[in-house]
Structure 1
Amino acid sequence: MKEHVTKRFNEFIEKATEKDMEVLAAIFEGLQAEGNAKSPYVNRLFHFEREIKDNSITMTAPIAPITYNSLGIAHGGVIATLIDTAIGTLANVTVSSEGNAAVTTDISVRYLKAAKGGTLTCQGTILHKGKKTMILEGRVYTEEGVLCAHSTANFFIIPRP
């Protein structure tokens, strides 16, 4: 496997553009960042950072070439991933002391403005916590404080595997 990956990597490097190299460097930085070894790959790929306090979460992500769509702005799927990761993390932290986990059952994302600038910030809160389900809200802001996306999501509470 290692030989195959090395061969593919070398082929890529030979043909890579400057933008390709920038994206590749960001991937390596995310994978190698100290303290990230236990983080899911998606968090490392997009350089998600989080802070949880008072039953809320703030998760940030840089807007960088790996997150761009064909228009050069943050891809809607990346914004949805940021939201789902942030509020899913909050849901899981909330139920973990009970020996449970939370999984997304549905999510609705409404895009309000183009996401431009240096950083996206998702602020997530719990709207409802029952015995079997939770409802959470996520709001994504640009670096300038502009609300660019709003989301609500439902989660099942399940026994931790």
Structure 2
Amino acid sequence: MKDDLRQLLETCIENGSEADLNSIAYLLSGFKQKISQNRSTYIDGILQMERKFEENTCEITIPIHPILNNNLDIVHGGITATVLDTAMGSLANYYLPKGFGAVTNQLNIHYIAPGIGETLRCKAEIVHKGSKTMVISGEAYRSDGKKMAYATGTFFIISKS
């Protein structure tokens, strides 16, 4: 496996453009963070998520890199959705008692402005916490402060056992 990976990387390094090499470095940096900083998931490491919890809120910020862009050269809507869902799901799980977890049941996103700039910041807030579900809202912002998207999500509360 290691030899195949080395050969793959060498081929990419030899044949890749500067943009390709920059993207490879970005991805490998994310994998390094997953491995060395014990990130919980690969997507957490790859997107280089910085997470902060405050009273009833969770905020996740990621750097915007060209690898995250669509063919219009703006952040792909799926990336925005992933970070919003992660912020809302992280908040749901943060406030549940030990032995329980929350999984996304429904996610609704309204895209408002294109994702451009240096960072994407998503902030989630609890709207309702019941015994079986939670409703959470989230907002995504560009580094210039402009709101990019608004989301709501419903999360099932499940037993981990």
Q: Give the aligned partner of residue 59 of structure 2.
A: 58
Q: Give the aligned partner of residue 133 of structure 2.
A: 133
Q: Give the aligned partner of residue 2 of structure 2.
A: 2
Q: C-alpha deviations, 1:109-152, integer Å up to 9, x for none?
A: 11001111111110100111111111111100111111110100
Deviation at 1:38, TM superposition (A): 3.2
Letter in 2 for 1:43: D
Mapping of residues 2-151 of structure 1, within 5 Å: 2-33=2-33, 36-95=37-96, 97-151=97-151
Cα distance between partner residues in 2 of 1:140 and 1:151: 8
Q: 1:136 to 1:116 in 2, by over 3 A?
A: same
Letter in 1 for 2:73: G
Deviation at 1:52, TM superposition (A): 0.4
Letter in 1 for 2:52: E
Deviation at 1:31, TM superposition (A): 2.0
Report SS of the residue matched to 1:127: strand
Deviation at 1:35, TM superposition (A): 5.9
Q: Give the aligned partner of residue 155 of structure 1.
A: 155
Cα distance between partner residues in 1 of 2:36 and 2:130: 33
Cα distance between partner residues in 1 of 2:12 and 2:156: 42
TM-score by length of 1: 0.94
Letter in 2 for 1:121: R
Cα distance between partner residues in 2 of 1:147 and 1:46: 20
Deviation >6 Å, runs of 4+? none
TM-score by length of 2: 0.94
Cα distance between partner residues in 2 of 1:66 and 1:48: 15
Cα distance between partner residues in 2 of 1:145 and 1:13: 36
Q: C-alpha deviations, 1:65-114, integer Å up to 9, x for none?
A: 1111111111101000010111111111111x242000001101110011
Unaligned ranges ≥5, structure 2: none
Root-mean-square deviation (CA, aligned residues, Å) is 1.4
Deviates more, 1:34-43 or 1:148-157: 34-43
Q: 1:35 to 1:123 in 2, by over 3 A?
A: farther
Report SS of the residue matched to 1:116: coil
CA contact under 8 A between 2:51 and 2:61: conserved in structure 1?
yes
Cα distance between partner residues in 2 of 1:151 and 1:105: 13
Report SS of the residue matched to 1:108: strand
